[in-house]
């Protein structure tokens, strides 16, 4: 997946990783009333990197978590979804509005390959802002801009 190659989403290892993430999500999403520092510690348990001061307001949803990298001061508002079949890197001080959905999964364009059940991932770079209820789907070799 991380190399952008095709994979089978029902693979045993992938299914086990997703089950572990679901269990973590139950804990994280129940933590809304906890102090930000305690939620930050929970994020660090599952995400690939959590920068200083990064905040995700629950509820939050993802496929794996460990493919998500948050820079310093990143803020994701309520009800964000990140389908992280590949690394999703969100740069320092990025602010993402509520109900934003980041889809890093991709599907073959030709019908025969698509019917085989194979999927691939795409890469998402850093972004400066995203409005509420945005649903960007990122295609291979595409990277969003970075605010200066």
Which residues are known catalytic residues?
107
Structure-token match 């994701």, residue found:
76
Cis preceding linkage at 40, omega within 30: no
Helix (H, G, I), strand (E, B) or coil at 31: coil
Length of the chain: 148
| Distance separating the N- and C-terminal Cα atoms of the chain | 31
Beta partners for residue 90, in sequence order? 70
Exposure class string for 61-74: b at 16+ Cβ within 10 A, else e: bbbbbbbbbbbeeb
Tokens of 111: 């019908």
Tokens of 88: 């999703």
């Amino acid at each position: 997946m991380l190399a952008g190659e095709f994979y089978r989403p029902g693979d045993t290892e992938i299914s086990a990783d997703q089950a572990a993430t679901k269990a973590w999500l139950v804990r994280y999403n129940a933590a809304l009333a906890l102090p930000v520092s305690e939620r930050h510690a929970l994020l660090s348990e599952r995400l690939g990197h959590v920068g200083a001061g990064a905040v995700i307001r629950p509820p939050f949803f993802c496929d794996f978590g460990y493919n998500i990298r948050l820079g310093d001061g990143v803020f994701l508002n309520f009800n964000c979804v990140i389908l992280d079949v590949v690394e999703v890197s969100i740069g320092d001080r990025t602010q993402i509005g509520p109900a934003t959905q980041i889809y890093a999964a991709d599907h073959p364009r030709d019908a025969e390959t698509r019917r085989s059940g194979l999927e691939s991932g795409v890469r998402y770079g850093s972004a400066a802002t995203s409005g509420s209820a945005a649903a960007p789907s990122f295609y291979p070799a595409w990277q969003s801009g970075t605010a200066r």
